[in-house]
Structure 1
């Protein structure tokens, strides 16, 4: 008979042969038979194991069976263990009662019938097995009960922690089902979304999004549920009667340990203060940047004013100095010629400075106008090259070009402004190239032209003519190269700088090229390694037949010494020096000159005389030139009302010229006026011919 767990039977008898006999009878039960020859040994066995039944001899030395039974019953663990007394004495009722009183379950007289003993012991073995199984089940049940109680306690604690976390959380928490419908929200979520801690069943955070952000919120949330990636967005929320607040929404898929998709869990966080802080910080940064930019601009302007003062005063020093020496009349003829050429050269330099300043002024105000027409860029470059050749020869600088090898390169542009571009670049190259250096001017048609980064050509588009001007001069430092076309910027603005200029020429070049839909960029390996400026302008698409070369511009005829003989001319100008200069110039050509210091005096003279021409200033104190010419055209009778009139003024802008012509002048000459240009214009206006 096999058992799921061991079954022990304790055999106690002081006679070994009796123990052997019992072992022989009970051996077939398959139990573990533990033999003991004394009561003390039996008690020791009970300390180690549990027994299904104890077969206990009554008559034993030192400690009889009744004494052993008494001790067994006093022990808690063996109190209920069945005891069968065995004795060789007659069935004395007194012994039997004593045995039963001690808790014996039976009292057998030796010799014992084997079948009776087997049946009785088998019953107790079966009872023991059932009791042990029940005990084990009870223990398992108790363990399970304890575990369940512990789990319930932990669950209760966990639920309490979750409730506390959910209630006290600074973040709003929401849980949705797989369709995105809310199944749980905490109080903070409710407070953020609709300004109340009362739950609104199945209401999503989407209903609280500001109307201006609603579309993007809906689309991103729909995309999130479709794709399953983590969701993180920031939107404005606006509850009823509340100002808009910024809220951060984060969400992720909710998946069980068995990888089952349960829905979505997410948080909402009020980030209004952070956004306000960011906005305030951004405002501070913008203000700091604006302040720094203003300080930089002021510093650049201060530097520019200092440079302007230097550049204007330097030629004035030569002009005034040599003028003083000429007045002294102590110069020989050769020195006199040198003085006059120096005064003229410095006056021209001042004129160029003023023209640069006026150009930049018009650029800043967006008033610079171009008069575009088809022209040959090679001819423009050649004209600019010839203009700067004397300056190059003075420094023994070699001018190398390929203009003779280039056919007509037709572009659409303003001839004067493009010549100004080439002249500025060539002048710069000569200025910054040392004695006996070299300046190259190369024209070419390129199939590719930079489209993205002008300073670092990468992507291209076809149909451009490219003009490259390279020099062997001082080069440009890499740190300054990105600022080379900025206004009022020079690589060296210190008082010890070696080269002059206002730092406006390249800014004008950049603007003019840009206005021609072209590109310009500078390249330099570094200081003392030369510089290359490249201008690229769009070509006019070539027709099937070749375009004939543009005829050269007609040159004005040379003016004779007495071109204005007997021509009566009225000069109106409030500046006495200008009146004296013009009077001397015109009278030297044979004209009969009358002058007026005010517009009113000029109008009075014109109403009583009939001069052939009026030379009139614009800015005068009592009445300006525009008003005077309009008054002449409208108030005087013929032929005075139709008198040819030329405006001679320091207002040299294109808009000033247009204003003068619209007011009634036939021509506009900006100061300073060149003598030959003035005489040619007078002849043109009066229809006379040079004598």
Structure 2
């Protein structure tokens, strides 16, 4: 049961039966419902009460809802009270705009959906309650500030009249306050006493010991007691006795020190200057390290992006000269494709890190067999390992199924990153082992190599972002230093752990991944049941069709035979690529460069499938699909639509599907994926019982 007081909700309608109906809908909210049968009565209620929200009928005799709302807004106390207009008279834009122009927050037309009304009112009730809580907290804060100010004035009065010197420092020993007696003892003004100025008066012969004594107690949060000498201007020595105690925060951490100084003619000098120097040096060193890491990462990023770009542009220019033989052309195309894939992977790694830092990386969990993940990853690196004459072996013990709850794509990414590192850092003729085993309730994956190993100095930083053991320009291995950081995050998202082991440089490395196993499932035989299901899921690609009405397997060049496709993209190169790829599969393609042009085409010819970019000047892809979805089916309002875009965040995907696209494909896209996606969407829509579109 809520302990919050009830809030007022004003119901205004000249028909009592309408008020009764509104009360029936809203009574479950548990709030105070106030009735008014006219605008004048509503204004009288507002003289004595505040309301969380006002439900106001538009059509009322004498004073209609618009006039009433205008008067409500003229009163300072109700200037910002939410007003929801209720009417059955008209849904014209002119009336709606009039309502909003005089301060309405919403407009509902009768007959009113009770659930919608209740949810809207509940939202304003909650907002009102929260605002009330904020005001209450503000009042409490003001009272606390007043008390704090009073206490501060009391402290200052005591400090000024105190016969001993008083000082405050932060945790680094930097002085933040001194009283007049302290200033007299030190022979300084208030401004001179702040920061580390006081340490200038310490005697050179005592400075080292005083600093050591202070550092010894301040680093562990203990009291300080000491005698030391001051060397004032003109060579005058003065002994002082200083005592300081730590000030503790609410969590028990030391937030600073409060101390006193008595003139006993120059006691041993406190050591704040040295402590401050050490702190400044540490901060400077940390800043230098951070700048160095940033510069190294930017240099590495530039190198890793420019290197494949050099191959892509170079081979492209050679191809344009049309002087290459068939073998060289094939090599050029393979090189361009491979280096473009490298660039795409670099971008994907950076986007993954961005998702991780924003907390926007999600998993698509389902039961899966780790055996398939491990063996597939190993086979993907088989050719690369053979090229370096590496022995790449897999050991699974005991043989069988290792069932976990996981995201297939992301676990494959973990294995890819670990194996990529192993192959990259293992010299020709070396060995790499991948071992999968089970211990208690966890699956354990070992990736063991005989490569360059990890130095003890770098071991604590192995899984940090942007960190590489060799950040120099002469390093032998590429990469941005993101793979292991991403792998650690993905493993931890699977409730697992990952660690690295190495005997040192040149001694190889071992990476160990542990992921919880699923508990045994009753009445299911792992070998015959689960393996069969998992293998069939992971090895059976969706079938494509020829005429979009059969399940026969057909050549890709005939997959879109006779299919009319409308392509929308403002980038001419991308547009020509999509047009060419789809035409080669038999599609009849119309390609335009803007949403306006696409909508014009739709009015003349209704295509079978729409493939649209999202980020375009003027009207973007979201606006285009919403405009199309407002058309009737006969006008093309239910056309199957694919969003093809370089925006790849989770929120971008959700926004595209919510806007009306059935499918989402990130750029860059391979021709086969594009073609199969168009065919799959066209096939699924024409096989749908009601020919409706789903996302």
TM-score by length of 2: 0.56
Distance in 2 (CA, whole Å) between partners of 1:469 and 1:301 is 30
Distance in 2 (CA, whole Å) between partners of 1:392 and 1:629 is 47
Q: What are the Cα deviations for residues 582-616 of structure 1, in whole angstroms up to 9, with x where unaligned?
A: 11111111111111111121122213320001100
Relative distance call for 1:363 and 1:278 in structure 2 (3 A) is farther
Contact kept, 8 Å, 1:683 with 1:689, in 2: the verdict is no
Which residue pairs with 2:259 in the alignment?
A: 271
Which residue pairs with 1:338 in the alignment?
A: 331
Moved more, 415-424 or 374-383: 374-383
The answer to whether residue 664 in structure 2 is matched with residue 678 in structure 1 is no
- Aligned to 1:473, the other structure's residue is in SS state coil
Contact kept, 8 Å, 2:572 with 2:593, in 1: the verdict is yes
Which residue pairs with 1:600 in the alignment?
A: 596
Relative distance call for 1:656 and 1:467 in structure 2 (3 A) is same
Contact kept, 8 Å, 1:406 with 1:443, in 2: the verdict is no
Relative distance call for 1:573 and 1:270 in structure 2 (3 A) is closer
Indicate which of 580, 583, 607 corresponds to 1:584. Answer: 580
- Aligned to 1:543, the other structure's residue is in SS state coil
Which residue pairs with 1:358 in the alignment?
A: 351
What does residue range 239-638 of structure 1 map to in structure 2 within 5 Å? 271=259, 292-403=285-396, 406-447=399-440, 463-545=441-523, 546-547=525-526, 548-549=530-531, 550-552=534-536, 553=538, 554-557=540-543, 559-635=555-631, 638=634
Contact kept, 8 Å, 2:446 with 2:512, in 1: the verdict is yes
TM-superposed deviation, 1:280: 11
Relative distance call for 1:495 and 1:544 in structure 2 (3 A) is same
- Aligned to 2:381, the other structure's residue is in SS state helix
Distance in 2 (CA, whole Å) between partners of 1:580 and 1:314 is 26
Distance in 2 (CA, whole Å) between partners of 1:410 and 1:525 is 32
TM-superposed deviation, 1:273: 7.4
TM-superposed deviation, 1:171: 11
Relative distance call for 1:294 and 1:605 in structure 2 (3 A) is farther
Give ranges in structure 1 of 5+ residues lacking alignment.
1-167, 173-190, 192-231, 235-245, 250-268, 448-462
Relative distance call for 1:273 and 1:605 in structure 2 (3 A) is farther
- Aligned to 1:606, the other structure's residue is in SS state helix
Aligned length: 420
What does residue range 51-200 of structure 1 map to in structure 2 within 5 Å? none
Contact kept, 8 Å, 2:381 with 2:419, in 1: the verdict is yes
Contact kept, 8 Å, 1:607 with 1:636, in 2: the verdict is no
TM-superposed deviation, 1:638: 3.6
Larger Rg: 1
Distance in 1 (CA, whole Å) between partners of 2:275 and 2:612 is 57
Q: What are the Cα deviations for residues 548-595 of structure 1, in whole angstroms up to 9, with x where unaligned?
A: 212332224464322111211111100000111111111111111111
Indicate which of 650, 655, 660 corresponds to 1:659. Answer: 655
Distance in 1 (CA, whole Å) between partners of 2:464 and 2:412 is 21
Q: What are the Cα deviations for residues 139-181 of structure 1, in whole angstroms up to 9, with x where unaligned?
A: xxxxxxxxxxxxxxxxxxxxxxxxxxxxx99799xxxxxxxxx
Distance in 2 (CA, whole Å) between partners of 1:606 and 1:288 is 68
Distance in 2 (CA, whole Å) between partners of 1:348 and 1:682 is 22
Relative distance call for 1:611 and 1:286 in structure 2 (3 A) is farther
RMSD: 3.2
Contact kept, 8 Å, 1:442 with 1:469, in 2: the verdict is yes
Relative distance call for 1:579 and 1:279 in structure 2 (3 A) is farther
Distance in 2 (CA, whole Å) between partners of 1:410 and 1:326 is 49
Relative distance call for 1:415 and 1:270 in structure 2 (3 A) is closer
Contact kept, 8 Å, 1:304 with 1:502, in 2: the verdict is yes
Moved more, 278-287 or 506-515: 278-287
Distance in 2 (CA, whole Å) between partners of 1:290 and 1:413 is 42
Relative distance call for 1:271 and 1:625 in structure 2 (3 A) is same
Give ranges in structure 2 of 5+ residues lacking alignment.
1-161, 167-180, 182-221, 225-242, 247-256, 263-269, 544-552, 687-695
Distance in 2 (CA, whole Å) between partners of 1:671 and 1:627 is 20
- Aligned to 1:683, the other structure's residue is in SS state helix
Distance in 1 (CA, whole Å) between partners of 2:596 and 2:280 is 54
Relative distance call for 1:683 and 1:286 in structure 2 (3 A) is farther
Which residue pairs with 1:687 in the alignment?
A: 683
The answer to whether residue 646 in structure 2 is matched with residue 650 in structure 1 is yes
- Aligned to 1:593, the other structure's residue is in SS state strand
- Aligned to 1:477, the other structure's residue is in SS state coil
TM-superposed deviation, 1:347: 1.1
Distance in 2 (CA, whole Å) between partners of 1:278 and 1:643 is 78
TM-superposed deviation, 1:484: 0.6
- Aligned to 2:329, the other structure's residue is in SS state helix
